[in-house]
Each structure stands twice: as structure tokens, then as C-alpha cells.
Amino acid sequence: MIENNAKRINPRRAYEIMENGVKRIVLGATSDFIAHEAALQHGTSKPLRTPKQAKTRILVVAHSDRGTLDDHAKQCLAAAAILADANTAVVALVLGELHEDLTNTGADEVLVIAELDYVAFQPESELFCVKAVVETLQPSHIFMPDNLIGDGDLGRRLIASQPEKLAATHVIELNLGHIANYQLGGTVLALTNLPFIVLLAPETADTNLPFAASALKLDQALAHPVKDKVAIANYTSLGIQTIAAAKIALEEADFIVSAGNGVNNVQTFQTLATALDATIGASRVAVDDGKFARDKQIGATGKTVSSSTYFAIGISGAVQHLQGIKDCRHVIAINRDHSAAIVKRANLSLIGDAEEIMQALITAIAEAKLATQEAA
């Protein structure tokens, strides 16, 4: 046997990204060391990307939802962070309150304008304010999620307000050289140079970045224009109207409670759903059993849902079912089998009998509601 003494290069050796964008190997330091340093500073185990002296900025504008950014907004931040070179900072302009840390999203700087919550319809104020921030920061590009919760609308207003600037909507692919979107009813894939304003379709970028960012809070004075009086058009904002959870389509529901084969008493389940004010879903087995209508089925051959909370009761978590809940933010499971696949997917699991736990929850909710009424 021939002995091979060639030294092997560690493909994961420690490096820093310098201002000119070049990766510099840190001799003597291990990835663990750098990760540890970063972790100490920013509570993350990834190397930091944030440029020390940014010369340009990419601005990412998105509304928050109850203090957090959704996946679509984070994909825009990730896309900006991936495209940003060592002299470019990614600025997150968050409209609405922000209660989460954006370190792992790629945001080097963060500006929050809490007053511009999407719950209030105030497009002129939003446009006025975003334009003022753009004026101050002079970004090279603006990225926004092309969605229906306000960002898509605001993005189009921004585009219309600056006809001299290039823009693109429904962008499904981008790099520094080009963007792509479908035209002519989805029959043609059109390519053009990266424009000033980019409204990104969902799933355009992977949010699992190999680096972290500083997410430094920018001087709040930058957001001052929102406090100025803005000319309002002749409409009245009625705010968001609440409707009974049962009337909400599963695809639009924010809180779903779903029954599987482990739910034997449908009456208890429905009482719990009403007490929680949640929309009802079901697994295929529960539907095949005739316990629920076919339009309640969630999964590969049913509906795909994206609720903030998905409460799975007596559901095993078969791949076909998990496929339908892949976009749900928080999953809670009740199952008597702690090794069930749904328990692995869940953020919180209650191991035990579904009927017993549902009854206990119904009682606890009733007591909590009574206590709230008495306190009021």
C-alpha cells in the first residue's frame, strides 16, 4: 500500500470576509473559535457578514405581523444579504412593531416604524415615510415581498411614485446580473437587469444563511417623517374586521385545530375548536371515516395551509400530512405516542389521551375566560 502524506485542507476552515469581499483564512483559529467569538457578541454560532464600513445599502421593506416578520419577508432579507458584497449593508425597514431578533436573517441594520402597522390602512403615510427613508439612505436597490398583506400594494405605489426608476414585480429568480419573472400569463420567462425596486415572489431565497448579521438598530430619527401630517385620500379605514373562525377558508386561517384518527369524540373536538376560536381541519383518515367533510382534509391530496399555529390532535404526522403543513409556523401536537412523526415536527407536544387532554383544555379555557370577565 502506498502511504499518502499529502496534507488535507479542511474545507470548513475558519475565515473572515474582508472589506473587499475576499475571504481571509484565519490561521491558527478554528471555525469553532470564530463561531464562539460571534456567539459571544451576537448570540449566534455563525460567522458575521456585516461590513464594517458600508458604502452602499440594499433596503428591504416589509410589514411585520404581531411583532415578527414572516418567511416571505425573511426570504427578501436573505436574498439581499446573499447579493450584498463586502461594502454593502442590508437594511431592514420594518413597518409595524418588531419583537424578534433579526441577527439570523441577514439584516445588518434595522429601522422599525411601529406606527405603520398593516392593520391600519394608511398607504399614503407608508409611502411618504418609505420615500423619506429611501431619500436619506440612498439604497442601491429596494427589495419587498410581493404579497397581499400590504407590501405588494405599497411596493407598487413606490414604483408608481418613481417612474424614472426601473422596477420588477413577481420576481422568481435574481442575481446581481439579472432578475426573472413570468410574463404573458406564465407562458414566457422574461429576463432583465437587476432593477432598483424588486418585488419578490415567495420561495425565491433560502433563509438558512451560512452567516449572521449584526442587526444594529438605526437611529429612530430616520423614521420621523411618519409623524408629519400626510394628505389622506377620501376613504375611511375600518381596520380589520373579525369573522368567526369557522367561516375562514383553511388556506387563509391563522389558527387551525386539526383532528386525526386518534380523535374518537368529534363533539369534544368541536367544542374545543369553538373555545379556541380556531378553524377546523382533519387528516385523510378522519375524513375517510366520515367524521369531517372532504374540504377539511389537509395534506398532499388535501389543502396546504400556512397558519401561525397548527394544533394536531391524534394525528400521526404521515409525510403526506406534513406536506400540507410545511408552511405553518408553530405546531402543537396531542398524541399518546411520543415517537410519532408529528411529535418530531411539533414545537410543543402533549403526550397522553386526546379525549382527556381536550376535556382538560376546554375546562381551562372556560376558567380563564371567566377570570378575564371578572377582572374586567
C-alpha dihedral sign at 192, 197, 201, 207: positive
Minimum CB separation from ligand FAD for residue 280, in Å?
14
Minimum CB separation from ligand FAD for residue 236, in Å?
43
Minimum CB separation from ligand FAD for residue 335, in Å?
4
Minimum CB separation from ligand FAD for residue 246, in Å?
20
Residue 157 vs 336, nearer CB to ligand FAD = 336
Please, is 1 exposed, middle or buried when counting C-beta atoms within 10 Å of its C-beta (0-12, 13-18, 19+)?
exposed
Strands 179-183 and 188-192: antiparallel
Minimum CB separation from ligand FAD for residue 324, in Å?
6
Minimum CB separation from ligand FAD for residue 286, in Å?
5
Q: Which of 300, 294, 343 has the alpha carbon at shortest distance from 325?
A: 300
State the residues that interact with ligand FAD by CB under 6 A. Answer: 260-262, 283-286, 297, 299-302, 314-316, 318, 320-321, 324, 334-337, 340, 353-354
Residue 174 vs 313, nearer CB to ligand FAD = 313
Helices (H) and strands (E) in the chain, counts: 9, 17
Residue 91 vs 285, nearer CB to ligand FAD = 285
Minimum CB separation from ligand FAD for residue 337, in Å?
4
Residue 139 vs 299, nearer CB to ligand FAD = 299
Residue 155 vs 324, nearer CB to ligand FAD = 324
Is-contact 73 60, C-beta < 8 A? yes
Q: Which of 13, 116, 121, 10 has the alpha carbon at shortest distance from 63?
A: 116
Residue 143 vs 269, nearer CB to ligand FAD = 269
Is-contact 191 180, C-beta < 8 A? yes
The alpha carbon of 328 is separated from its chain's Cα centroid by a whole number of angstroms, namely 10
Q: Residue with the closest Cβ to ligand FAD?
A: 299
Q: Which of 111, 76, 96 has the alpha carbon at shortest distance from 221?
A: 111
Residue 68 vs 320, nearer CB to ligand FAD = 320
DSSP state of 336: S
**Side-chain half-sphere CA neighbours of 285 within 13 A:** 14
Element (H, E) at 332: strand 330-335
